[in-house]
Chains A and B, each alone.
Chain A
Amino acid sequence: AQKVTQAQTEISVVEKEDVTLDCVYETRDTTYYLFWYKQPPSGELVFLIRRNSFDEQNEISGRYSWNFQKSTSSFNFTITASQVVDSAVYFCALSATVSGGYNKLIFGAGTRLAVHP
């Protein structure tokens, strides 16, 4: 199966707390790509990061960091010192091979993050 699971439906934190959003995936591909997108209340989907399956190095971008672990099929996203502007729905996605031999983005259900002042 090609699947993305974001078990946390909603998370609520107080500003300045660190928060980790979990993403677990299933794929039969040996080469695949993982993504995170942010959907703020305004509704647009904003690309945050792409990671390929051969690169397990963690990545940090400002207050954002990503932890990719092939052994546990996880690609978790941590926001350090959260801010109110981080309030959004966050989607994890997997680029998976589907019938016909091409790739398709499979999205998780999303995690709604609310950061309170």
Chain B
Amino acid sequence: DAGVIQSPRHEVTEMGQEVTLRCKPISGHNSLFWYRQTMMRGLELLIYFNNNVPIDDSGMPEDRFSAKMPNASFSTLKIQPSEPRDSAVYFCASSLPTSGSREEQYFGPGTRLTVT
């Protein structure tokens, strides 16, 4: 079975540009998570979807960040406009449909974003 798929794997963009990161969760998983990893702050949960509905977006840094999950097999994380401090690795993870994070989460390979 395919794991969590993320694209692109690497993204280099200039400050002020819009960036869209994409994620396809594991089939049958209906919890989806977006994380950001930096040296300074470690792994941070940005947003959590359950059955395509955003449950907790308290980790989204500011209004420049938005996430959608239009269906069970696709999610996007958008940054508009991007800033150099958004440079990080962004992970998408999915898990089986139990209560939130009780089940193990399976992570995608990550998107390394560099904003110059």
Task: Please report A residues at the B interface, Cβ cutoff 8 Å.
Answer: 33, 35, 37, 43-47, 50, 91, 95, 98, 100, 102-105, 107, 109-110
Alpha-carbon distance A93/B15, docked complex (angstroms): 33
Given A102-B56, A102-B99, A102-B100, A107 and B42 contact (CB-CB distance below 8 Å):
yes
- Which secondary structure dominates chain A's binding surface? strand
- Which secondary structure dominates chain B's binding surface? strand
Judging by beta carbons under 8 Å apart, are A91 and B43 in contact?
yes
How many B residues touch the partner, as a band?
20 to 34
Q: A102-B48, A102-B99, A110-B42 are in contact. List 12 more A-B contacts (CB 8 A).
A: A33-B101, A44-B110, A45-B110, A47-B104, A100-B55, A100-B56, A102-B55, A103-B101, A104-B56, A104-B101, A105-B45, A107-B43
Judging by beta carbons under 8 Å apart, are A104 and B100 in contact?
yes
Judging by beta carbons under 8 Å apart, are A105 and B101 in contact?
yes
Judging by beta carbons under 8 Å apart, are B100 and A44 in contact?
no
Judging by beta carbons under 8 Å apart, are B99 and A103 in contact?
yes
* Chain B residues whose C-beta falls within 8 Å of the C-beta of A47 in the assembled complex: 104-107
Q: Does B109 contact A (CB under 8 A)?
A: yes
Q: Does B91 contact A (CB under 8 A)?
A: yes
Alpha-carbon distance A48/B58, docked complex (angstroms): 27
Interface residues of B in 83-116 (CB under 8 A from A): 89, 91, 93, 99-110, 112
The residue that A104 contacts in the complex, of B48, B89, B103, B106, with Cβ under 8 A, is: B48
A-B contact pairs, 10 of them (CB 8 A): A33-B101, A37-B107, A43-B109, A45-B110, A47-B106, A91-B43, A102-B50, A105-B45, A105-B101, A105-B105
Judging by beta carbons under 8 Å apart, are A95 and B109 in contact?
no
Alpha-carbon distance A50/B45, docked complex (angstroms): 19
Tell me the smallest distance from the CB of A53 to a CB of chain B, in Å.
11
Given A104-B45, A105-B105, A109-B42, A43 and B110 contact (CB-CB distance below 8 Å):
yes
Judging by beta carbons under 8 Å apart, are A103 and B102 in contact?
yes
